[in-house]
Amino acid sequence: MRWALRSLVPRFEEPITREFYRFTARIRAGTVAALLLLNLVVVLSLDSFSFDRRVFTIAEVANVALLATDLALAVVLWRGRLSLAALRRLNIVCLAPEVASLLLNLWVFGSVSSHILITAALIVLLYRVCFDFATGLTAFGAMLLG
């Protein structure tokens, strides 16, 4: 029974390298930049959707601020000269705007049969697969508490 519980919390011998943090930060920066462009497209074509313009505008301003924060953090992770411990901490800090943006989108667009629910599971899965168990657990806890 004890071996089964240990398999839920696997331990890896190789530490996460500085290059890996920078590589994932580069991917994060590109993805967030694409999301910012998509938000701009949605705002420019808002009349073709049946959203409440006032509510959507308030939510969109908050979402753009969250995405811009995440983009700035990603650029610091990518280009900054930080220690390995600082890269790890900053990577976990990046969870806050990502989770907040996702939860805001869930609130705006609804969660019933929403693709955004799958995105939440994907973010948790990516943090768990790419980084250590503690980072994945932090992502899961942030999604669950949000």
Q: What is the pLDDT of residues 87-117, one digit of tens each?
A: 989 998 998 899 898 888 888 777 665 677 7
Would you give the distance in Å from CA 128 to the centre of its chain? 12
For residue 36, what are its two tokens?
């910012």
Spatial distance between the Cα atoms of 101 and 107, rounded to a whole number of angstroms: 10
Q: What is the pTM of this model?
A: 0.79
Please state, in angstroms and rounded to a whole number, the distance separating the CA atoms of residues 57 and 64.
Answer: 10
Share the mean pLDDT of the chain: 83
Cα gap 112→25, rounded to integer Å: 31
Tokens of 55: 């509510």
Percent of the chain with pLDDT over 70: 88
What does the pLDDT look like over 22-63, one tens digit per residue?
A: 999 999 999 999 999 988 888 877 777 777 778 788 888 999
Residue of 22, 14, 17 whose CA lies nearest to 81: 22
DSSP state of 15: P
DSSP class of 94: T
